[in-house]
Amino acid sequence: MRKGFVLISTLSIIAILAVLTLFINNMVISSALTINNFNESVEQRIKIINYEKFILNTLQNNSNQLRNLEVAENQLNILIKEKTPSLSIRLNDLNTCLNLNSIVKPFRSLYIKNDENLMYFESLLNTLNIDKTVSKQFIDRLIDYIDSDQLPEPFGVEDLFYIADENLNLTADTLIVHKTQIQDLKILNENEYKSISPLVCALPTVENKFNINSLTSENFFTFSAMFPDVTLDEMQQLIINKPEYGYINYKSLIDINNFIADKVSADKLIYKPEFLEIHFKINIGSEYYYFISVADLKNKINKTSIRTNST
């Protein structure tokens, strides 16, 4: 009886030790994989920054590529995948959306309401069938969120409205850094936000310019808000008539499309992006990681203004 008990106890101890051994082995393997993935992640991040410099230098030295980002994206992906098959990029022209910060303009050392650009937002919200009351509140709150004074617009609110909110991304009375901050205005519902979000952006400038060479059906609403006299058929014609490497300047645009000569403002059009969003997608281990860079192509020295992770 005692021998049986000893045998059972011994077997139990052996079983427990086996389970512990397996558990420890799994922890060691998991820890090793985590460290390996982390080390590889750091290495790949450095690689992405180097590719970012390569992409921006390539684009800035090649006007044809800048005027046709689709071709540029394909060519750059071919070059990148030759050395790094796990990495791919996507280019997004930020000069095809309404810049939220353009709703104000500089006056001495202050930011004040920009009535001209305000009309662009009114037109866009109207096209999206946003309720007129919501539209007025959104615009006025956006102005008050950015401008420097403490006098609220008729449908707006100033600092006291935000000061107790612990969930704000940033303090008010300064330029918006990312378009998600419009959720801080506490006026748009989920559907309204989803309809507006793809058509707006937050650039580190108060200007609003549209890159005509990046005109597509996806940004017709933005273009229409800035140039309301241009019809849908004419917008489609602008895309069809575009040369392989894009319109070079206003003269080349009008020479081919004289039907819009009196319908667009030359100073609101550009022919190469000034702000570019680069989306990186890289495979590390069994996971995909996403990174975004926002580059100021006008700035030859410090091209990248924002880098962030993305999901």
DSSP string for residues in the chain: -HHHHHHHHHHHHHHHHHHHHHHHHHHHHHHHHHHHHHHHHHHHHHHHHHHHHHHHHHHHT-HHHHH-HHHHHHHHHHHHHHH-TTEEEEEEESTTSEEGGGGEEEETTEEEE-HHHHHHHHHHHHHTT--HHHHHHHHHHHHHHHSSSS---TT---HHHHTT-TT-SS-SSS--SSGGGGGGGS---HHHHHHHGGGEE--SSS---EEGGG--GGGHHHHHHH-TTS-HHHHHHHHHH--TT---SHHHHHHH-GGGTTTS-GGGEESS-SEEEEEEEEEETTEEEEEEEEEETT-SSS-EEEEEEE-
| Range with lowest mean pLDDT among 154-158, 174-178, 218-222, 264-268 | 154-158
Mean per-residue pLDDT for 277-294? Answer: 85
| Domain spans, the chain | 97-207
What pLDDT sits at residue 38?
44
Q: Residue 289: is its pLDDT beyond 50? A: yes
Mean per-residue pLDDT for 286-310? Answer: 73
Q: Which fold has domain 97-207?
A: Ribonucleotide Reductase Protein R1; domain 1 (1.10.40)
Given the structure tokens 């077997």, which residue do they identify? 11
- pLDDT over 90, % of the chain: 46
Q: Residue 279: is its pLDDT beyond 50? A: yes
Mean per-residue pLDDT for 117-139? Answer: 94
What pLDDT sits at residue 301?
62
Report which of residues 169 and 309 the model is more confident about.
309
What pLDDT sits at residue 213?
96
Q: Residue 28: is its pLDDT beyond 70? A: no
Mean per-residue pLDDT for 178-186? Answer: 88
Contact, 306 vs 291, CB < 8 A? no
